[in-house]
Chains A and B, each alone.
Chain A
Amino acid sequence: DQQVKQNSPSLSVQEGRISILNCDYTNSMFDYFLWYKKYPAEGPTFLISISSIKDKNEDGRFTVFLNKSAKHLSLHIVPSQPGDSAVYFCAASVTQGAQKLVFGQGTRLTINP
């Protein structure tokens, strides 16, 4: 039972344009969502997060949008840069029980010069 799904295994975007990565979840108990970025041969690194009491969180070039009714979140990167090429994982957590992250399958983003 895949509670967090990233349906696009890969995405290719031209440098300078907007990258949009999508994530869907099924468990309505999830109330905290995170995006992690992973380079080859490295562990995932935290990128940005959002609580379910918000519908948008912005940090520089990165913005995460949450649509609770649709159980959908997205990560926007604008403008996209070559260094953004990586695998991006969406993760979700439930407040109680603390710290257990459920990850999606990941989306490989490639930024083309």
Chain B
Amino acid sequence: EAGVVQSPRYKIIEKKQPVAFWCNPISGHNTLYWYRQNLGQGPELLIRYENEEAVDDSQLPKDRFSAERLKGVDSTLKIQPAELGDSAVYLCASSSLAGSYNEQFFGPGTRLTVL
């Protein structure tokens, strides 16, 4: 079974440029998460989807960040414009059932460097 796929793995951009990250969750997983992990810190949830619906986006900086999961499968996270402080690893995770303690499976992440 394929794991959570993320691309690109690395991205270097100039500040004020846009950037997008893509995630394909494990087949059949209806819950998808985007996390941001700053250097030396644990992952912090940005947004959680149940199928196509964003059910928790309270931590998403909506002035510059946006996300979509149009068909309830893969998802894109966008930053526009990027700032220096956005440099971090962006992790995508998925799980199979909402409302229960099912394991979250993480992708390898996208390491973003903003210059």
Contact = CB atoms under 8 A, between A and B. Distances in A.
The contact size tier of chain A is 20 to 34
Q: Is the interface of B mostly helix, strand, loop or mixed?
A: loop
A77 B98 CA distance: 31
A86 B11 CA distance: 24
A45 interface: yes
A43 B56 contact: no
Interface string A58-96: 000000000000000000000000000000010101000
B108 A4 contact: no
B52 to A, nearest CB: 17
A44 B45 contact: no
Contact of A101 (B40, B100, B104): B104
B42 A91 contact: yes
B97 to A, nearest CB: 9
Given A104-B42, A105-B42, A99 B107 contact: no
A9 B91 CA distance: 21
A91 B35 CA distance: 13
Interface string B19-52: 0000000000001010000001111110010000
Interface string A35-60: 01000011111100101000000000
Contact of A98 (B40, B91, B93, B99): B99
A98 B99 CA distance: 5
A45 B101 contact: no
Interface string B83-115: 000000001010100111111111111000000
B4 interface: yes
Given A4-B42, A100-B45, A100-B56, A43 B98 contact: no
Contacts of B99: 98-99
A106 B41 contact: yes
A35 B34 CA distance: 19
Interface of A: 4, 6, 9, 32, 36, 41-46, 49, 51, 89, 91, 93, 97-101, 103-106
Interface of B: 4, 31, 33, 40-45, 48, 56, 91, 93, 95, 98-109
